[in-house]
Amino acid sequence: MNRIEARFARLQQDGQKALIVYVGAGDPNLESTRQLALAFDRAGVDILELGVPFSDPLADGLVNQLAAQRGLESGTTPPRLFETVAAIRRESQLPIVFYVYFNLMHRCGVAKFIADAARAGVDGLLVLDLPLEEADTYEQLMRDAGLCAIWLVAPTTPDARIATIVKRGTGFIYYVSREGVTGMQVKVAGNLADRVALIRKHTSLPIAIGFGISNPAQAREVAFAADGAVVGSAVVNQIARLGNSPDLVPSLEAFVKSLADGIKSG
């Protein structure tokens, strides 16, 4: 069983919800990414999303765009990121998802990218800009490699389209709680329960909600409505503030633990 599937199965058995944390890989450098991954594992994170730095991150707000820029400036490339994941794997079995743009995979060679990701210890890919209609080869390669192909559902996705998307997903479904790009919000969307119920009509896969969750109370509220919460920009913003400070890892570990504690006690 894939690590993502195994983690959700364990959480369901324990009556718990998932905390999924996103960071930009290589921000401020890949050694920090490795250390943060291990710290997040200690803090109670269930799945780590690593944003693969890309020069045109069209689905991301300013906070994550700048993280991608810093990742590129630190010399983060797919081969170096695969080495970092392999280093994490020597100490942790925390499920890892790459948040990646298809153009980058295409440039590397899709089959090679997927094979290298699986070999390094990646568990799933969330490809931001690959339409379902063009994903047959990608999905077959993912199945062959044992990786989860994670798909997004948006607030504007029609019911019929939701049914089509979720049938193709593995691991979990990522529900984007707001229209637009990533970024912190003052409050979560008010119709989450209804949207999650609509998605559940079509799938038994776990549903995680992301985009805009920035504190423990919001994470708990969102996790209550679904199977997990994704926190990204709020974490990335603190990485940007602390940079190469020696406080980076302990500060982020404490913040992420507050998110995990909020979800697990909710």
Spot the catalytic one: 60, 123, 221, 227: 60
Spot the catalytic one: 41, 46, 49, 116: 49
Of 125, 119, 115, 111, nearest in space to 50 by CA = 125
Please report the pLDDT score of residue 45 as a whole number.
Answer: 98
Pick the CATH number of 3-264 from 3.20.20.70, 3.40.50.1100, 3.40.50.720, 2.70.240.10: 3.20.20.70
Please report the pLDDT score of residue 266 as a whole number.
Answer: 54
Please report the pLDDT score of residue 192 as a whole number.
Answer: 87
Please report the pLDDT score of residue 185 as a whole number.
Answer: 46
Query: What residues in the chain have per-residue pLDDT under 70?
Result: 178-190, 266
Q: Rounded to whole angstroms, how far apart are CA atoms 196 and 188?
A: 14
Annotated catalytic, 194?
no
**Position 55, amino acid:** S
Q: Rounded to whole angstroms, how far apart are CA atoms 196 and 186?
A: 21
Please report the pLDDT score of residue 158 as a whole number.
Answer: 93
Please report the pLDDT score of residue 62 as a whole number.
Answer: 87
Please report the pLDDT score of residue 180 as a whole number.
Answer: 44
Annotated catalytic, 159?
no
| Lookup result for tokens 């940007």 | 240
Please report the pLDDT score of residue 184 as a whole number.
Answer: 44
In terms of DSSP H, where are the helices of 74-215?
A: 78-89, 102-108, 110-120, 136-145, 159-168, 192-200
In the chain, DSSP finds a helix count (H) and a strand count (E) of 12, 8
What are the boundaries of each domain within the chain?
3-264
